[in-house]
Structure formats: C-alpha cells, structure tokens
Structure 1
Amino acid sequence: MSSQHWIKILLLALPLSFLAACSSQPKPGTQIDSGTTAAIENNSEQLIKAAEQAREPKRSALYLKAANLLISSNPQEAVSLLSIVNESQLTAADNNLFRLLNAQGYIKLNQPTTAKAWLNAVDYNRLPSQLQRKFNLLSAQLAGLEGQYQIAINILSQALDNPSTPKETYTQLWDYLLQLPTEELELLLSNNTNPAMQPWLELADIYRTPSELSQQLAEIASWQMRWINSQANKNLPASIIALQTTPAYKPAHIAVLLPLTGPQGAAGGAVRDGLLAAYYSSFSRTTNITQPELTFYDTEGQNPAALLTQAQAEGAELIIGPLRRSVASDALASQTSVTVPWLILNQVSEAGFEAPIYQLGLSSESEAKTSAQRAWEDGYRSPIILAVDSEWGQRVAESFNEEWVRLGGETITPYSYKSNGDYNSSTSEALLVNGSFKRANSLSRLLGQKVEYTPRRREDIDMIFVAGSPSQGRQLKPALDFYFAYNLPVYTISSMYSGQVDSIQDRDLNDIRIPLMPWFTERSNLKSSIQSSWRESQSALAPLYALGADAWRIYPRLEQLAQSDGAKMYGLTGMLTISPTREVNRELSWQYFRNGRPSTLTKEASLNPDFKIDVLDIQNQEQEGI
C-alpha cells in the first residue's frame, strides 16, 4: 500500500480560506538585489533584516527563506515569520514550500489540527522528490503526534528501500516502533509483507522483550548476522549502540534491604519474591554466567544507616532498597559513605542524586504528574482537582498542581472529600451546583413565589482530576455524572484500579482515564510465572511483585540507561528511562474504563471523546430539580 494512500487516510480536507486567513498583507519597502540575497542566504537574521526593507514579491520570498532556516531550531519564530508572508506573492514552488513549512512548524508546536490543514493544502504532485520525502516524513510525524503509530509506520516503511532516505526517517521509524502497543507490534511482525521492514520489526521485538541483558545482547548479535547488509543494521538506533557499547554492571554480591517482618512485611515479601522470580528466570536462561550472591536484610526495627554500613562491610557491590520512603530518607540523612551503586526502591527526592544513587519507585505523586501531562497534551486547560481528604490525597493533589503550573497552567485550588463521607455533597460543592440552588432560592425569596429552574454545574472547567481508591472512584464517578459533569473527561492515577478485572463493580468507573503499568495491560512470561507461584501476586500487592522483578532486571543497565538519550527498558512497572538526576521514570499505558474493563486510550480518542452514559436520565433529573 503506497504512502500516499496512508496520507489520504490521515489528512482531512479543510478549506483553503482557512489557510489564506493565516497570512497578512505586508507593507512595501525597497527592492533588494539578487547579489545581496545570495550573500545572506544562510543567515536568518540578515534575511529578516533584508525582508523588512524589501518590496513584494522579494519581501515574502526572504521571509520564507528565513523561516526555512529556523523551522527546526525555533519553530515558534518560524511560524511567526510565515504568518507575515503574503502567499499570493509567492511562486507556485514557494507556495508549496510555504504550506509545508507551516505544517512542520505546527507539528513541532504540538498543534496537530492546524498542521493537518496546512499539510492537506500542499500539492504533493508538484513537489520535487526531496520535498516529497519531507512531506511523507511530516505526514508520519503528524500521525505519530495523534497516536496513530501504525499509520506513521506504514508511511515511513515505503521509503526504506530508497538509498537516499535520510537518517531522520530511520530514527523516526524506530521511535514509533517503540511506542506501538505490544499486541500491534506482534501483529505487524506476523503479517509483514515488506522485506525492508522485517529487520526493523525483529529488532524492535528483541529490544522490547524483557529479558536478561546478556541474553538480549546475544539476540541482537544474532540479528546482525542475519541482517548484516540491511539498512537497519547500517543505521542502528542509538539505543541499540548504547546497549552494545556501555559495559553492564556485574556485581558479585548484592544486598537487598526490605521490611520482611512487621506491618510492612507483606509488601517487602512481595518485592523479594518478584526479585527472586526474575533472578531464577535469568539464571535458567543464562546457565553459562555466574549469578551474583544475594543477601537479604530485614529493615524492620533496624537502623538503616547501620544496615548500609554492614552490607558494604560484608562485600556488597550493589545495594537494592530500602522500600519505605521514611526508612530510605533516614538512611540518606545518616549515610555519607555509600561507594557502590545504590538503587532505592522509592522516590525520596525530586531533586535526585548523583551517581551512584538511583531511585525506582511506584510513587503516586509521579503518576499525578503523568496525569497532568496527559491532560495538557490532550488540550485541556481548566481542570479541577478532587482528592481524598488525607495526607496522601494532599500530596497527590499538590503534585498534579505543581506539574500543571510547570506546563503553563494556572494554580488550582483543590477540593477534597471524606474517605467515608457524603460523596454527593463533595462533588456538588466542587462543581458549584450548590451555588445554583442558592441563587434559585434567593430569587424565590425575593419574588415571594416558587421559581422553576434547572440546576447547573460550573462552566469554567473542561476536565477533572480525581485521586482515591477503587471503592471511592466507584462512588465519585456516578456522583460526578449525576451533578452534570457526565460530559467532562476524568483523569486519575493507578490507585483507582484494584488490579483485578471486575466488570460489574468497575462499571461505575466507565470513561475514567487511568495510567496503568504493563503488568496490568500486557502479557509476560515472567508475570505468568510469578502469578502461578504466588497467589498474592494477583491481589493489591501485584505492583510490588513487578517492582521487585524490575529492580533485578534494571540494575545491569543503570549506567547505560543514564548515559544514552532514548535508551529504554521495557519492564513490568512501565517503560523505564533514567533522568539526569538518576531517577528511574516510568512511562505507563493510558487506559480508560469501558464496560468496566481497562481498554487502551489512544491519543485520537482523547482528543475526540465519545461519552456514553449508560445509567443516567438527565432529562428526568432536571425536571425533578435535583
């Protein structure tokens, strides 16, 4: 299937009057000779100065040249320059370039609707071959921006046989292959008919399949032998090169600090068992490699700093843990002589640390920031926060708020609800429905007679962020629907999912948008092994089993992930990357509840929601004046 076919699927026709409205008529100036233009051809500042003094059509042509130079490094300025270009003064060729640059600029500015309009206005058949390749790349980028990764991959795959295909195309293709849901990648791999795509699909499958590092490297080496002359091997992704060239950390002795007794014993035991499951799984696959010695230290009632000192004295070359935030904080406050890599199983400091200290945790606060980012990407700008009235709820609300402000939004005053309180009262207060009642009652008293009215919610919001447990969510969402917020998207964090499919009870969570770890959304041999061995891994402790498994699998890759941009590890707790401050970031899978079950939430669905209310008679509700 041709790239033009996929592009036609992607692009929607918009009237050219929309595009023309984006241009304005410049004032004429003095004429610039061709010799002057040639001298400043590669200097955007000089081109802009020359344009300011030029007459049409030279004026618009110079602005176009300047925008072309700036489009990659400064898309905002480039788009501003394009807005003052007089399109009617351009040649046919420059007119096409003008539209193409506008599309590129708005893609970089994350404005897909406007970008789509400009791209659709380009006359593809009149583009020279170089700009046709650029058009195809932009079409793929637009599809990727909207979460349509399969379309993006199909567009780019048409150019893989072309020897003049730019490096950027391969880089973009690799990125989309890593973003594609696992099931879709497997489907592409099994149904592929494009020989040039086969090595890319196989490499992505190897890279994304969680496995022991030594095994993964062996599989990549075998892949290179099979595809030695392929463009994929000649244009290896940076993450693959980093995997091959950064030495893996191979400690002979690992100390694991966990609460194995006391109130947190079950949590610590889950992490331990998940880690051991990954340990034995890797050992069964790599029998020719000596596995490190493991020593477990119970942190319950112990001085964490003393345990760190003891572990190092007993030969530990890597420390994993502690699990509890307070214990980790105490250890950090008291310990100044950790000389070996240390992977803390919590997020203790947002400022992060320098090597050799790393943080990997399941922080609700981090997930709240993830929800803020997704809501912002989806185009919402006026949220309210509704969090349970507790220290945890306050922390989650503050994290969402902080991230929202960082993104450019305004500070939000959060609303709270009692964990066992009146959910109707809390939601009606947050939605200002009570104010509607009060205004009607005041008017009734003023007129001295009963006033017929329809209660309304506030109209100054476009989304809701809620934080709580599954049982709280099952009461909050119906209350929000009842008080007229049924058409507002609701975002939350993974705490609102029990971890077990319950389509009856979770029907009350329908349409809530939630980030979940791969443990809950994808198949995994290791997960299946853990679930068959430990029944508790199918309970609320499930994320901790996943955390233990990922702690084992990530430690050899810590330096590689920290040093290489774009390097990822596909774990059970998320797609893992490491920030410059040594924090392990988890990219989660966005889902929404549909018929009481988590279902994949695409970016396209986020931008074009189709709300369906199953059990709510709004007309009857309004007539009764509820």
Structure 2
Amino acid sequence: MISRLRLLSVLCLLGLLAACSGTPKPPAGDLPKTPQASVDQLLLKAAQSSPKEAAQLRLAAADKSYALGNPLRAAHIIQQVPLDQLGRTEQALASILNAELSLYRQRPQAAWQFLQHPSLEQIGRLPNDLQIRAHMARARALEEDNQLLDATRERVFAAPLLTGQPAEENHEAIWSLVARLNGTQLTTPSEGDLAGWLTLGIAVRDALTVEMQQAGIDRWLSANPQHPAALNLPEPLRKLKELPAEPLRKIALLLPMQGQLANVSRALRDGFMSAYYHAQQTGQNPPEVILFDSTEIVSLDNFYTLAKAQGIQLVVGPLEKNLVKDLGQLPQLPIMTLALNYDDSNESGPAQLFQFGLAAEDEALSAARRAWQDGMRRAVALVPRGEWGDRVLAAFNRGWQQQGGTLLAAKRIDQPVQLAQQIADLFQLRQSEARAQRLKEVLGVEFAAEPARRADVDFIFLAATPLQAQQIRPTLTFQYAGDVPVYATSHLYTGSRDGTQLQDLNGIRFSETPWLLDEHNPLREQVARQWPQASGSLGRLYAMGIDAYLLAPRLSQLKALPETRIHGQTGTLSLTEQQRIERELPWAQIQNGRIRRLPDYVY
C-alpha cells in the first residue's frame, strides 16, 4: 500500500486551503507557449533546439500524445525530458503526466511518488487545468490504493474547479465513492461539502427498507438545501427515489425443521427472528413472519397456492438444494422468493427467484481479488480432494485469471500422511534435491546442500478444515516454504479465539464474516446471550439468517439498481446478473495466536 498516503493528502489539501485564503499567492506561472504542431513536428523541432527548449518541446509532445490516446508513446517521450531543464510549472505538468501514465499502467504507488514532487506542493498556485489534473490524478491514485475517504475528499476539493461534463462526472464519482465507504469512514469528523456527502451516505446506508431510504434522502434534502448533492441529486439516488415503495407486510420463512438440516435451520431461523425483534426494539414496524416446515410440504405448487391465499408477499427459503433446483427450472413463480441455497446451474432462473447462501466460491473469488490488491501475481493452491474442493479451486482460478494472475500448480489435499510429499511436489523440492545429488556425483565430493524451493511462487491459496490447516502450516515450514504468504477461506477458523488452537495458523490471512470478526457488535452480543453457539462456527448461519432479513425488503432495489451494496453480517452483499447474492468478505490475519483484522479493500 502507499505509505503515509492519508497524511500527505491532508498536508497537500492544507496547502491548497492556504493558497486560497489570506494574502493572495502569486501564480506559479503559465506554461510556455509551444507551436501548434503535431507530435512528430514537435519532436523534430526539439532535436534542433537548445537543451531547455528541447525539454519544453518534448514535454509538450508527450502531453499531446497522451491527450490523443497514445499513452505508450507519451511514456517513451517523457523519459527523454530532464526535469532540471524545466520551470516550476512545467515540472508540475511533467509530474502530473508521469502520474497519469503510471495510473494507466495500474501502478498507483508510482503515481503517488510523482505527485509528491515539490512543484505540486501548492496546487492552488498552478493554472486551473493543471490543478484539475493534479486533483484527479490524486483521487484516482488514492482510490486504486483503496483510500476511499481520501479519494472522496480530493474530488470534493476539485469540484468547484470543474464545469460541464467533467463536473457532472466528478459529481457522480463522489457519490460512487461515498456509497462504498464503511461505517467508520462515514462517521469521520468532516466539514463543508464533504460532511454533507458523508451524512447523505449515512442516511441511505443505515435505512433498512426502500421506504426508509427514500424518507432519509428527503430529510437530508430538507436539512441541506444548498449542498451540491441537493442541487443535483446523484443519478443512483434519483433512481432510488423513483422506485415504488411497497411495504412488505407478510413473509413466509420456509425451512426444514426436521431431519438432517434441522440444526442448520434452527440457526437460520433464530438469526432471522433476532433481526426481526431487533427491528421491533428500534421502533420499526417489521412484517409478519409465518414459519413453514418444508419437510411437511407435499409439493411446491401446493405451498405457493397456500402462501398466496394467506397474503404472503415474499418467501424466504427453501434451504434444500433439490428444492432450489426445482424452483430454478420453473418459468416463473407466483411469489417473489429468496432461496437460502444455490442450485448448481450458472444460468438465470425465473425472474422472481433470488438465491443466497454461504458459498465457498464467494470466498475463493475474494481471495483472488485480495491477493491481487496485495501485489501477488503467481499462485499455487491447496484444496481438499473431492467435488467441493474442485468447485472452490475452479472459482479461485476463474477469479485469479480475471485479475491477470497465474496459477502455477494445484494439489488436492489427501490423507495427512501424504501432505509433506504433496507440498514438496508443489514447491519442486525433489527436483532441487536431485540436482544437488547430481552435483555431488559430478564433483565426487560430499558437501552440505539445503534443498531450495521454487522461487516463482508469490502465495498459496488454501481451502482447508481447521485440522488440515493446523497440519499444513508447520509442514510448509518443514518444507522450506514457511515464508510464503497463505490466503485462505474461512473454513480453517472455528470461531474460537483460543490462542493455543490458533498458534499453528500464525501468519495465515483468511476471509471471514463481519459477524465472527467483530467481537463488539451489539447485535451479536445480544444474540449470543440467548444462543451462545452464535459466537462459534455456527455464528455464520445466525449471520446468514440476519442478512436474509436485511435482504428481504430490498430485493427489488438490488434488481433495479445493480450497483447497490448492502453491508451485512456475512459480508458486503450485491446481486449478480443471475440473481445470486454475492458476498465480499473482510480479511484478517493470525499473529502470535491472535486474530487481527486487516484494512478493508473495497471492490
């Protein structure tokens, strides 16, 4: 990540404020006039000019190449421009252009280094067009480094400088950033227009239903009539206000309360109802919930006929995979349904069917995104042998290739006795030992040769049970791979904070539900007092029940506004084109037997 980014951004903004207040500062000077010529003509003239004029002409040629949509040529030209031959304003342009080219190459850290050049210490003294470009480059670098609040602040500062289409695009980009901020960022003390944007974000984020969101926007508009967002409400909020507000009054909760899935169903039910009672306690008017036992249902047709006769507006369930598959094959459903599982098809089902579950594939995709953001590029994978491991590996590989990464090798975890051999094969240790043996034979002498693992592996993707993971980490150390970062799914974590159990997992990064990572969540504390098991591995099911309740009144919004994100207890929830709820999970790392939550990336 970019070190000291937030501090430097604040210092630069303070410099901008200083430049805009008190005694006016003299401008840094306009850019020298360059001939109205093509890039080739500018370069030809540069070759015939003095060093100072040549540097100015090449800078103009590089900037023109970039403006004409040829960043590769611009990057080649600007490498030939010595900054010491340029004036201060020209140095600012060169630094901004280098930053823009770095962002084009997806290198935000390099971009930020260019943006720290002394010529950019007082942005407010630069010509207006350079001020705009500097702010936009800063905002993009911050956003790509996941510093979303600082990126928002940068765009808010730039807003008064913009007009026309760029102003409109920046306005929408500000809201896009605000909508992605977490709760802590939204409540960060702020002033001026930024404070207004953040309170608008809170008004929308904290509302549990479309009606409550619409009312929250209206209250905000009344309290902030002159704010830029009030004068020009961002497009997603305009669409949100236009959605029909149809109160949800009656829900059917369809779960198998008998048989093998009964324990799972009870956890889901108790989580769902805890959210219901919490809504009551906070002054809301929750819909009536009627529980149906899916093991007693003769047919889905009969169930929907009965539910419709009782005025049910939404069905939450079923949980059984075969029933979800049956629903997915129907042309349409008489009632909107949020199934609590996924069928095996990647195809869209009836328009009224939504699917939600704790899919391991979500975590595999999250691991691919997280590792890429952390700078990893080459992976190996360890997954359990069998159908589940194959699905997780396929999802990881798909997501990893989409990011641009390379999967070098994968092994299926089999019997523990074979684990050491499998990891040795994964890191090609046996080839290293064979090379050492051949060298001994050629030289005819004995010497100490420590096996060397392959050096092209950036990290290991791991999907494993707690017991498997506890065996894997020490084995990696034994096989000379203990320093290789490990990114794992939540399946290695039992929910226990016992340092003894976690010791063998030291260093592993893993995704997990906010429910299990946040020990001080008031709702979790309340639920755990009644159901202590909600703090352990079963807690994920309680969290899923709570999120099913949160999703229930907002399915239409998710469908109408695909950019909508719901910050739930199982992760940040969004809707795919196939109407499946996808989760983005936070990440943690085990250090010295303790769990430390890692800074969030927002995708």
Shared fold by TM > 0.5? yes
Match of 2:555 in 1: 558
Instruction: Indicate conservation of the 8 Å contact 1:210/1:569, yes or no.
Output: no
Change (3 A) 1:311 1:419: farther
Q: Give, as a single letter, the amino acid of the residue that structure 2 aligns with 1:182.
A: G
Q: Provide the rounded CA distance (Å) in 2 between the counterparts of 1:481 and 1:304.
A: 53
Instruction: Indicate conservation of the 8 Å contact 2:98/2:111, yes or no.
Output: yes
Q: Provide the rounded CA distance (Å) in 1 between the counterparts of 2:168 and 2:414.
A: 55
Q: Deviations 1:531-587 (Å, cap 9, x if unpaired)?
A: 233223122221111112111222222222222253221111112222333222222
Query: Which deviates further from its counterpart, 445-454 or 138-147?
Result: 445-454
Match of 2:566 in 1: 569
Q: Provide the rounded CA distance (Å) in 2 between the counterparts of 1:511 and 1:202.
A: 38
Query: Which of the numbers 353, 358, 362 marks the counterpart of 1:362?
Result: 358
Query: Which of the numbers 389, 392, 396 marks the counterpart of 1:393?
Result: 389
Q: Give, as a single letter, the amino acid of the residue that structure 2 aligns with 1:7.
A: S
Query: Which deviates further from its counterpart, 353-362 or 584-593?
Result: 353-362
Consecutive unaligned residues of structure 2, counting only runs of 5 or more, are 14-33, 47-56
Q: Provide the rounded CA distance (Å) in 1 between the counterparts of 2:193 and 2:248.
A: 40
Match of 2:9 in 1: 7
Q: Deviations 1:26-48 (Å, cap 9, x if unpaired)?
A: xxxxxx985xx6xxxxxxxxxxx
Seq. identity, %: 28
Match of 2:375 in 1: 379
* 1:343 aligned onto 2:338: yes
Change (3 A) 1:412 1:314: farther
Match of 2:505 in 1: 509
Change (3 A) 1:498 1:433: same
Change (3 A) 1:272 1:80: farther
Deviation for aligned residue 1:176:
4.4
TM-score by length of 2: 0.80
Q: Give, as a single letter, the amino acid of the residue that structure 2 aligns with 1:6.
A: L
Q: Give, as a single letter, the amino acid of the residue that structure 2 aligns with 1:68.
A: A
Change (3 A) 1:476 1:185: farther
Match of 2:317 in 1: 321
2:409 aligned counterpart, secondary structure: coil
Q: Provide the rounded CA distance (Å) in 1 between the counterparts of 2:298 and 2:162.
A: 64
* 1:83 aligned onto 2:76: yes
Q: Deviations 1:18-72 (Å, cap 9, x if unpaired)?
A: xxxxxxxxxxxxxx985xx6xxxxxxxxxxxx545774357874663352254xx
TM-score by length of 1: 0.78
Match of 2:45 in 1: 56
Q: Provide the rounded CA distance (Å) in 1 between the counterparts of 2:241 and 2:381.
A: 45
Q: Give, as a single letter, the amino acid of the residue that structure 2 aligns with 1:581.
A: Q
Match of 2:461 in 1: 465
* 1:206 aligned onto 2:235: no
Match of 2:52 in 1: none
Q: Give, as a single letter, the amino acid of the residue that structure 1 aligns with 2:76.
A: S
Q: Deviations 1:138-158 (Å, cap 9, x if unpaired)?
A: 223312322334544554565
Instruction: Indicate conservation of the 8 Å contact 2:271/2:545, yes or no.
Output: yes
Change (3 A) 1:413 1:472: same
Deviation for aligned residue 1:412:
4.2
Q: Provide the rounded CA distance (Å) in 2 between the counterparts of 1:111 and 1:179.
A: 22
Q: Provide the rounded CA distance (Å) in 1 between the counterparts of 2:529 and 2:254.
A: 25
Q: How does 1:232-251 map to 2 (within 5 A)?
A: 232-251=229-248
Instruction: Indicate conservation of the 8 Å contact 1:238/1:566, yes or no.
Output: no
Q: Provide the rounded CA distance (Å) in 1 between the counterparts of 2:61 and 2:435.
A: 60
Match of 2:67 in 1: 68
* 1:259 aligned onto 2:256: yes
Instruction: Indicate conservation of the 8 Å contact 1:388/1:419, yes or no.
Output: no
Change (3 A) 1:82 1:449: closer
Q: Deviations 1:577-605 (Å, cap 9, x if unpaired)?
A: 2233322222221222223333232489x
Match of 2:183 in 1: 182
Query: Which of the numbers 88, 102, 107 marks the counterpart of 1:111?
Result: 107
Match of 1:280 in 2: 277
Deviation for aligned residue 1:6:
2.7
* 1:496 aligned onto 2:492: yes
Q: How does 1:119-268 map to 2 (within 5 A)?
A: 119-121=115-117, 123-124=119-120, 125=122, 127-153=126-152, 155-156=154-155, 158=157, 166-186=167-187, 188-189=188-189, 192=190, 194-209=191-206, 211-268=208-265
Q: Provide the rounded CA distance (Å) in 2 between the counterparts of 1:225 and 1:503.
A: 52
Q: Provide the rounded CA distance (Å) in 2 between the counterparts of 1:211 and 1:536.
A: 26
Match of 2:592 in 1: 595
Match of 1:537 in 2: 534
Change (3 A) 1:238 1:530: farther
1:580 aligned counterpart, secondary structure: coil
Instruction: Indicate conservation of the 8 Å contact 1:297/1:307, yes or no.
Output: no
Query: Which of the numbers 523, 526, 529 marks the counterpart of 2:523?
Result: 526
Q: Give, as a single letter, the amino acid of the residue that structure 2 aligns with 1:542.
A: G
Consecutive unaligned residues of structure 1, counting only runs of 5 or more, are 12-31, 38-49, 71-76, 605-626
Q: Give, as a single letter, the amino acid of the residue that structure 1 aligns with 2:425.
A: E
Query: Which deviates further from its counterpart, 535-544 or 212-221?
Result: 212-221
Change (3 A) 1:244 1:501: farther
Change (3 A) 1:115 1:325: farther
Deviation for aligned residue 1:133:
3.5
Q: Give, as a single letter, the amino acid of the residue that structure 1 aligns with 2:535.
A: Q
Change (3 A) 1:577 1:509: same
1:416 aligned counterpart, secondary structure: strand
Q: Deviations 1:265-299 (Å, cap 9, x if unpaired)?
A: 11112112212222233344455x57245342324
Change (3 A) 1:185 1:457: same
Change (3 A) 1:205 1:317: closer
Change (3 A) 1:391 1:290: closer
Instruction: Indicate conservation of the 8 Å contact 1:161/1:196, yes or no.
Output: no
Query: Which deviates further from its counterpart, 468-477 or 117-126?
Result: 117-126
2:569 aligned counterpart, secondary structure: coil
Deviation for aligned residue 1:255:
2.8
Q: Provide the rounded CA distance (Å) in 2 between the counterparts of 1:227 and 1:558.
A: 29
Q: Provide the rounded CA distance (Å) in 2 between the counterparts of 1:470 and 1:238.
A: 46
Instruction: Indicate conservation of the 8 Å contact 2:364/2:393, yes or no.
Output: yes
Q: Provide the rounded CA distance (Å) in 2 between the counterparts of 1:80 and 1:440.
A: 47
Instruction: Indicate conservation of the 8 Å contact 1:382/1:460, yes or no.
Output: yes
Instruction: Indicate conservation of the 8 Å contact 1:381/1:462, yes or no.
Output: yes
Match of 1:619 in 2: none
Q: Provide the rounded CA distance (Å) in 2 between the counterparts of 1:559 and 1:6.
A: 42
Instruction: Indicate conservation of the 8 Å contact 2:257/2:265, yes or no.
Output: yes
2:588 aligned counterpart, secondary structure: strand
Q: Provide the rounded CA distance (Å) in 2 between the counterparts of 1:258 and 1:591.
A: 32
Match of 2:399 in 1: 403
Count residues with an aligned counterpart.
Answer: 556
Q: Provide the rounded CA distance (Å) in 2 between the counterparts of 1:114 and 1:279.
A: 49
Q: Provide the rounded CA distance (Å) in 2 between the counterparts of 1:562 and 1:468.
A: 34
Match of 1:16 in 2: none
Change (3 A) 1:114 1:387: same
Deviation for aligned residue 1:207:
3.1
